[in-house]
């Protein structure tokens, strides 16, 4: 972790977010323009406002024209650079929020208002990125289905060929939907479907 998150490092954070919208999306839950140096704050606010209103990152030229801050393109960025960004941005945000919480707490304590202090400090210390971005259904679907089979237990569909495709049958507690083109179900298949047992 860095010891100093000065304006130069903060500027790199903004440049990396502009270059890769996914990076901004990953840090959006902890992104606060107030954490940035006063020279960078107008650009940080503009980026947040633009994303909130238009659901897309602004161009560098828009940031420059609106705020006067020139953000550069960083060549040859790879996955390791963005891992660094996520780790350092989280630490930077936690540090800035904690510093602000301590300053607010001092004012509150001076006024004898003790109740909000614990929450202010606790919220700042617990700042973290959302790590779970959901299930990627296209990443190793076989492993995902095998895991479901191991954890949920399977119920046979009654058709060995279909059971094989489903790695053992239906999963307990899940809704199963099958679709097919017009005319693909024969009368024999329909009789088999109607005779399928109901699974709890």
CA 15, chain centre distance (Å): 19
pLDDT digits over 3-45, tens only?
899 999 999 999 999 999 999 999 999 999 999 999 999 999 9
CA distance 148 to 16: 38
Provide the pLDDT for residue 39. 97
Q: What is the model's pLDDT at position 194?
A: 46
Residue 35, number of CB atoms within 10 A of its CB: 22
Q: Which tens digit of pLDDT belongs to each residue from 39-67? A: 999 999 999 999 999 999 999 999 999 99
Q: At 137, is the pLDDT very low, low, confident or very high (cuts 50, 70, 90)?
A: low
| Residue 19: partners with Cβ closer than 8 Å, 6 or more residues away | 73, 74, 77
The pLDDT assigned to 183 comes to: 64
Distance, in Å, from the CA atom of 170 to the CA atom of 197, rounded to the nearest integer, reads 12
Where do the CATH 1.10.860 domains begin and end in the chain?
7-125
CA proximity to 82, closest of 133, 150, 19 = 19
| Class level of CATH domain 7-125 | mainly alpha
């Amino acid at each position: 972790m860095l010891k100093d998150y000065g304006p130069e490092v903060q500027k790199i954070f903004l440049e990396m977010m502009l270059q890769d919208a996914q990076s901004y999306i990953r840090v959006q839950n902890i992104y606060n323009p107030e954490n940035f140096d006063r020279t960078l704050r107008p650009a940080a606010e503009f980026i947040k406002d633009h994303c909130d209103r238009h659901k897309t990152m602004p161009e560098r030229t828009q940031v420059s024209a609106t705020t006067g801050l020139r953000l550069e393109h960083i060549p040859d960025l790879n996955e390791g650079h963005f891992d660094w960004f996520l780790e350092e941005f989280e630490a930077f945000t936690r540090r800035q929020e904690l510093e602000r919480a301590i300053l607010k707490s001092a004012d509150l304590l001076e006024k004898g208002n003790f109740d909000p202090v614990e929450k202010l400090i606790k919220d700042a210390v617990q700042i973290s990125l959302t790590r779970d971005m959901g299930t990627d259904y296209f990443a190793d679907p076989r492993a995902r289905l095998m895991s479901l089979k191991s954890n949920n237990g399977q119920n046979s569909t009654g058709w060995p060929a279909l059971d094989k495709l489903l790695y053992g049958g239906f999963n307990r507690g899940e809704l199963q939907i099958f679709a097919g083109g017009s005319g693909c179900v024969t009368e024999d298949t329909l009789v088999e479907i109607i005779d399928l047992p109901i699974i709890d």
